[in-house]
A and B are shown apart, each in its own frame.
Chain A
Amino acid sequence: MTLTRRSFVLLSICTSAQRFLGQQQGGIASRGIKAQAKPAPSGRPFNAEFIDVAKEAGLHAPVIYGGVDEKKYIVEANGCGCAFVDYDNDGWIDIFLLSGTRLEGTPPGATNRLYKNNRDGTFTDVTEKAGLKAIGWANGVCVGDYNNDGFDDIFCTYFGQNRLYRNNGDGTFTDVTKEAGLLQSGPALWGAGCAFVDYNRDGHLDLFVSNYIRFSFENAPVPGEKSTCNWKGIPVNCGPRGLPTGRHLLYRNNGDGTFTDVTKQAGIDVAIESYGMTVVAADFDEDGWPDIFVACDSTPSLLFMNNHDGTFREEGVTRGVALSDDGMEQAGMGVGIGDYNLDGHLDLFKTHFIDDTSGFYRNDGKGNFDEVTRSAKIAVETRFTSWGAGIVDLDNDGYPDVFFVTGSVYPEVEKKLPQFPYKTRRVLFRNLGNGTFEELESQGGAGISAAHSSRGCAFGDFDNDGDIDVLIVNMNEPPSLLRNDLKVKQNWLKVQLQGVKSNRSAIGARVVAHYGGKTQAQALVSQSSYYSCNDPRLHFGLGAAMEVDLDIHWPSGLHESYRRVAGNRLVTFREGAGVVPNRGWSR
């Protein structure tokens, strides 16, 4: 009686597409799957055109981040995020860009940067004046008014010490990390994603921080040293696989400018085996309490459901957002949140590594998700390592589209394998309005087809012309600022919220707009995309509709309805007080 090791060689090819190509990914999970066949083009025109105006806008400084031609450590590879933030409350969103450094030393000009919007399409670098000059390996940014003084504050994560900047309301910021109780002790953490979130609904913004890897230069393997340090047979920076996972943190806002680490008591510490990245906090099950989603690299993504008593339970796998639809780990990096199918519920879009599809998850309104990547025709694209993403209506037709930026993490590979370039194009899927999307290769303008190695991106209307523009971090290059020039004007509405009982920024609010027979939900979040923060004014494209009915679900639990709100303008709602005058710019 002899048992053979394997009886049937055909089993090998049964799994070939996934398994064998998947093996080539070294330290990053990728299913090695081939793209879904592209359907025939719809032939419908796309009315948005994106032009990179960064240079004209004065965004000249490159975002320094690690080596240019090769990256020895993963710290150099993942890059950072950016934010659209109206720091001076003038109604024109400003730009905040994070920065890294280099292994051999910080080059001149490597710093986070704040650019003030000059209201004429240009920006002025006010970093030093604002007190935001900082060097180091910055990763994520989230924006919110943690002290409820009416001015948005900024929190930045780092490999090393994270930083909280309090907005002084006079154009300057103060680093209050220490006095806020956010100084870390022990070995350096790798702060990654972050989100301001009022998890206990006390009206004060708390803070969630995901950590990526427990990393030290002293102990980190170098390219080629381990099996997780090769990609396509070429030695590359190692990880995340093979490196110890990070540990996520929840800080409760004490209401007096300080925070207390409540990670353990809130039940966040149960999920330790994960490489956490972008954080999105929103009320996914529509119970009035914010939940927290963490995209995780090469480990299951996490969904912390709020128990309404200061604690959370992690249910990502059970609720269908942790793994691929065949139960495999994916390299979750960026997250878009929006309502692609106009059913009034918040769906999620998650970006992944090359040779894998992004993940598109439809919410049933109870916080349970079905993966619809393939049925939505998003699986046609697997060519790129993908990062910052959004579910945003780019052409104001009333149907949210999908946009994401891409770029390899291995600049050294291109020299030997030109088919895997370091700089790659942006990806735009237009919503066809029937639950499916169409990838636009030639439409969308030069800003879409331009190749960069991009990471974070933020969505917002920097020129206040009623459409969504995109700010993009490019590794070791100046950022891109994609101005949206709509060829055909359609209607729109911007909603700004001011919390009263809720936190002043109204972060965590869910707004459901009803227009032209459609229903669309949006959430006000302090981080999404990849480590980035969008314009806090919620933008609804309305198509031909001129008016909107709005349901505002405030973070405090208050629900307010407004009928027949006229479009093509910004409307500011104050919790419990109705429409109030806009700050600064209005239309």
Chain B
Amino acid sequence: MFQGLAFSGKRDSKSALASYQHALKLSPDYLPALEGAAQIQYDAGSVGAIPLLKRVLTIQPNDVTSHAMLAVLAEKNGDCPTAVKHFSEAGQALESQPEALQGYGACLLKLKRMDEATQVFQQLLASRPDDPRCRQALAAVQLAAEKPQDALGTVQPLLTSSADVGTMQLAAAIFEANKDTPNAVRILRDAIVKDPSDTALYVDFAELAIDHQSFQAGVEMIDAGLKLQPDAANLYLARGVLYVQLAEYQKAESDFERAEQLDPTMGMSAAAQGMLANEQNQNDPAQALAKVRAKLLKKPDDAFLLYLQAAILSKMAAEPGTPEFRQGMESAKRSVKLQPSLTAAHNLLAKYYLDAGENALAAQECRMVLQQSPSDQSALYHLVIALRKSGKQAEIPDLLKKLAKARQESTKQEGERNRYKLVVAPANRRE
């Protein structure tokens, strides 16, 4: 044991670890040896530290350092539930560890424990009040936690003339979430002036334009971006989306193809083209289906194309038991398997299951959507229907309340979106 300490003092980790391990063979619960070995393994980022730390905690359950170390290791391994459990036990050990705090906060975010995440990032900012990255992170978390007013208060000190483009981009999102579209547009335009080569800013503007049905204004801004960045695939993709809204399908198709040529790895162009085929061929679903299937031949594992295929078959009102129905359902199943975050596909699969009388499976899909998006009206509604058909009434009253709240919120948001229309120069907005 003392040999281990001596080697540690000489920064000979390898020999120190061998000494500690030897000591532990003789006395497996010898705490100093456990702590020493764990420290070396932890510093090396080795998972070998984990059993050692657990043994320490068996002996000293309140050892905050071991909890902190286990938390950091779990967070690095992507095991957020375990990380959060240990972070919460680590207490004071985190105060001097900003990286650990950030990891704690990130895990809470992943677990959608927004209020706790906000508290952790507040703690982080308190420990480094002058670090703009900490302030930016807190503002972003507050925005994600749907507390846009708090986010605005947090980001405000950063909005000086020297604000970086990333901060301005975040601020634009925060202003928009606060229903202050004029300021969102202003700051986004300022950011574009500051860094005209950042194509993400034009895409953000396009999204704002879509939100406010100002599709032509979006096109004009993307045009400006393309003059400076003529090979930016994401700008072509965004403009294609805007053209779809304007029902200018040929232009949209041309933009999607150009985006795919410029960046074949982008992966979204094929999906966009599939969506276009669906939009363009509303009165000819067979044609839309053929186009989507052609895309699927090239990209058989594209979750969005699979979703589109299922959606078109569903729109064609395929009856349960028919080959089309089975194919639609299988396509939806594959889509959610390939991209579990695609809530539209989960909702569609839930509808397939409902139509097929598979109510338990429908409920399962709805619950998956609600994990990601608790206010999703389709998922709430389909879950109500699935539970009613299953004879499981107990949960329904609570779901009905949630659905009513979601509807009210949706109506309110729709009104807000309609408040502003975006136009490109000379005026930026009109009410």
Contact = CB atoms under 8 A, between A and B. Distances in A.
B315 interface: yes
Interface string A346-387: 000000000000000000000010000011010100000000
Contact of B106 (A1, A9, A17, A317): A1
B400 A377 contact: no
A216 to B, nearest CB: 21
A2 B403 contact: no
B154 interface: no
B176 interface: yes
Contact of B275 (A6, A13, A377): A13
Contacts of B170: 2-5
Interface string B256-299: 00000000000010011001000100111110000000000000
Interface string B198-233: 001001101100100100000000000000000000
A301 to B, nearest CB: 13
A421 interface: no
Nearest to A374: B317
A36 interface: yes
B241 A10 contact: yes
A118 interface: no
B381 interface: yes
Given A6-B207, A227-B415, A318-B384, A13 B244 contact: yes
B417 A317 contact: no
Contacts of A35: 282-283
A323 B381 CA distance: 9
B268 A16 contact: no
A3 B238 contact: no
Contacts of A203: none
Q: How large is the interface on A (under 10, 10 to 19, 20 to 34, 35 or more residues)?
A: 35 or more
A373 to B, nearest CB: 9
B304 interface: yes
Interface stretch (B13-21, B22-30, B58-66, B139-147): B139-147
Nearest to A17: B279
Nearest to B304: A10
Contacts of A26: 418
A14 interface: yes
A443 interface: no
A228 B418 CA distance: 8
B166 interface: yes
Q: Which of B106, B315, B344 has the most CB of A within 10 A?
A: B315
* 7 pairs of A and B residues whose beta carbons are closest in the complex: A327-B381, A5-B173, A227-B418, A3-B140, A34-B282, A327-B377, A374-B317
A36 B315 contact: yes
B403 A377 contact: no
A37 interface: yes
A279 to B, nearest CB: 22
25 contacts: A5-B143, A5-B172, A5-B173, A9-B241, A10-B237, A10-B268, A14-B275, A14-B304, A16-B245, A36-B317, A37-B285, A37-B316, A226-B415, A227-B416, A241-B411, A300-B407, A317-B403, A326-B347, A327-B377, A327-B381, A327-B403, A329-B411, A368-B388, A374-B315, A377-B317
Interface of A: 1-6, 8-10, 12-17, 20, 22-24, 26, 34-38, 226-228, 230, 241-242, 273, 300, 317-320, 323, 325-329, 368, 374-375, 377, 379
Contacts of B272: 10, 13
Contacts of A227: 415-416, 418-419
Contacts of A368: 388-389
A329 B176 CA distance: 26
* Highest count of chain B CB atoms <10 Å: which of A1, A374, A377: A1
B418 A20 contact: no
**Residue from the set A8, A26, A326 with the largest chain B CB neighbour count within 10 Å:** A326
A368 B359 CA distance: 15
Contact of B173 (A4, A8, A226, A323): A4
B351 to A, nearest CB: 7
Given A9-B206, A227-B418, A318-B396, A326 B304 contact: no
Given A10-B272, A374-B317, A328 B377 contact: yes
Contacts of B143: 3, 5
A323 B380 CA distance: 12
Given A35-B283, A37-B282, A317 B381 contact: yes
Interface in B344-402: 344, 347, 351, 377-382, 384-385, 388-389, 396, 400
B133 interface: yes
A239 to B, nearest CB: 12
A36 B193 CA distance: 45
B107 interface: no
Contacts of A9: 203, 206-207, 234, 237-238, 241, 268
B140 A241 contact: no
Interface size of B as a range: 35 or more
Contact of B245 (A4, A6, A20, A37): A20
B102 interface: yes
A134 to B, nearest CB: 36
A393 B75 CA distance: 68
A3 B200 CA distance: 13
Contacts of B378: 326-328
B233 to A, nearest CB: 12
Nearest to A377: B317
B95 interface: no
B137 interface: yes
A22 B286 CA distance: 25
B414 interface: yes
Contacts of B407: 300, 329
A552 to B, nearest CB: 31
Most buried by B among A12, A22, A319, A325: A12
B122 interface: no
Contacts of A375: 317, 319
A37 B284 contact: yes
Which of B285, B316, B317: most chain A Cβ within 10 A?
Answer: B317
B136 A2 contact: yes
Nearest to B267: A10
Given A1-B140, A13-B244, A228 B173 contact: no
B415 A228 contact: yes
A20 to B, nearest CB: 6
A361 to B, nearest CB: 12
Contacts of B166: 2
B169 interface: yes
Contacts of B133: 1
A23 B137 contact: no
A368 B393 CA distance: 14
Nearest to B106: A1
Interface string B399-431: 010011001000100111111000000000000
B247 to A, nearest CB: 10
A1 B170 CA distance: 11
A241 B408 CA distance: 11
Interface in B142-191: 143-144, 166, 169-170, 172-173, 176-177
Contacts of A319: 388
Interface string B44-87: 00000000000000000000000000000000000000000000
Contacts of B144: 3
A159 to B, nearest CB: 24
Interface in B77-110: 102, 106
A26 to B, nearest CB: 8
Given A9-B238, A10-B304, A37-B282, A326 B275 contact: no
Given A1-B140, A5-B177, 12 more contacts: A1-B133, A3-B170, A5-B173, A5-B204, A12-B210, A13-B244, A13-B272, A13-B275, A16-B245, A34-B282, A327-B381, A328-B377
Nearest to A369: B385
A91 to B, nearest CB: 44
